[in-house]
């Protein structure tokens, strides 16, 4: 069983922007357990995808890093945030 360490949103953003893997989990659940809802996110993929939004003023959030974070977080909320699991993300790393 993998051990997870909870981290702050600021540290998660820093690791995300460095391309390190982070885990997002709904705030009412835990990443290790029988109903594992942890989602592995690699910042490198979103940083590459966010580059395409530079010319779109409605989706561009000022910097490449902020746009990538916003894109990732909106996708996570759409697919994972519910009343039962929680509407907010908790951030984890392995170890």
What predicted TM-score, i.e. pTM, was given to this entire model?
A: 0.86
Is residue 68 within 8 A of residue 18, CB to CB? The reply is no
pLDDT for the residue 43: 86
User: What tens digit of pLDDT does each residue of 22-50 get?
Assistant: 999 998 888 887 777 788 998 888 888 88
> Of 25, 24, 70, 76, nearest to 47 (Cα)?
70
User: What tens digit of pLDDT does each residue of 15-29 get?
Assistant: 999 989 999 999 888
pLDDT for the residue 1: 60
> Of 63, 62, 66, 69, nearest to 43 (Cα)?
69
What is the rounded CA–CA span in Å between residue 36 and residue 19? 23
pLDDT for the residue 73: 93
């Amino acid at each position: 069983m993998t051990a997870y360490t909870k981290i702050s949103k600021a540290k998660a953003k820093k690791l995300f922007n460095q391309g390190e893997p982070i885990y997002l989990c709904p705030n009412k659940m835990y990443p290790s357990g029988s109903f594992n809802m942890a989602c592995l996110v690699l910042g490198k993929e979103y940083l590459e995808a966010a580059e395409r939004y530079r010319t779109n003023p409605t989706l561009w959030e000022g910097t490449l890093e902020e746009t990538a974070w916003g894109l990732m977080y909106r996708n996570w909320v759409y697919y994972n945030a519910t009343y039962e699991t929680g509407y907010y993300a908790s951030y984890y790393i392995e170890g």
